[in-house]
Structure 1
Amino acid sequence: MKHVLIAGLVTLVLVSSAQAGMVTIDFDVFETPDPDSIIVPSPYVEDGFQIVGTHLRARGPANVFYAGSASLLQAIDGGVATLSNVNNMPFNLLSIELSFGHFLGTSPPVTFTGNLSGGGTTMQTFTPTVFGFTQFNFNSTFSNLTSVSWVQGTHNEEGHQFDNIVVQTVPEPSTFALLGIGGLALVGYGVRRKRQQAA
């Protein structure tokens, strides 16, 4: 019974460790009463991740183009946004929310290009269809990334705004090795203690 308990604790620690690296970049700092688009310095940093862009702008609830939550966009035709970890750690991109940039507008398809940690790239395309945020989920190829880039479209009538980017840092192999060693030590301690009690 104790072995099952110890194994369960080790599993819980491993799962908790994997979940701990998950964050949502939500731009809530821009939930302000400012009616104008807010100029955002590049890089914009939140929760250990950065977004680099040429003309980053944020929209809060008083802005006429507010799509339901604070968001970011590139205020330039064809502007490229690039997401990466500030400590250059590999990460997984799980999902993003997209909306039309303008309530009377549209958006071209948005193609995300991920640069893989071991080399190579992966791509996935989503098409926003409404003014108001829709969540798009990335497939499993968006794992172990060094960066992800995508193009804005045009900055108003034919572009998009983005919010709630869900990312997860990839633990270094040494982290799992340490957790494994700790788990084995717990099992060894339990076995030793059981032998001492039996003697």
Structure 2
Amino acid sequence: MKKIAILILVYNITNAQEVAIEMSKMNIAYAGLGNPIVVMVESFGCDEFIVCTDNGKLHQEKNCNYTYSPEKVGIANIYFKRSITAVDTIACRKIRVKPLPTPSARFANKSGGNIGIAEFKAQYGLIALLEGFEIDARFNFESYKINVIRGNNVLHSVLNHGSRIEISNQYIIDQVKIGDKIIFESIFGKMPGLEKSQKLNSLIFDIE
């Protein structure tokens, strides 16, 4: 897993004070994710200024440490003010908000291949894995198809809504036997901050 490097961005404002923001990546935050940042203003203590934004929420953790959670992809303005009611700002910094990469679908934390029948039947549904990030992918599953193939025949083909296998489709899982092939396909959903649905990879399992 790759760790996120810390980078300090510094710029001057009109009164020659310096404002610094420590972020995970160069002026980039990810939508729907709690991005840790550290903010500093020259000649100001951490309790002597307020930080706010027009895109999402900023939660102060300790001293000058904040967690920034943007809501939408695009541009976010980070405002530095003397107080929450202050009209004038000490400074403003623009940050790009990007969507998280498309995750990979998993079943039993597997991307396919052989799976024991007991392990298969013990699962609740699909999960999404965001590879390369030490975070959980909060992927909102919309729907996917479950196909059960026995021999050369398609025994079942149903649409499932959400990440968990619906109660109405549980009978399909219960009827699976050793030697069956299971295909999860047409997996759709969204990562935080996106308007359009994303299609994830299909999963093919052989029951043993």
Length-normalised TM-score, structure 1: 0.32
User: Whose radius of gyration is greater, 1 or 2?
Assistant: 2
Greater share of residues in helix: 1
Answer 1 or 2: which has greater strand percent.
2
Q: Which has the higher contact order (CA 8 A, sep 6+)?
A: 1
TM-score, length of structure 2 as denominator length: 0.31
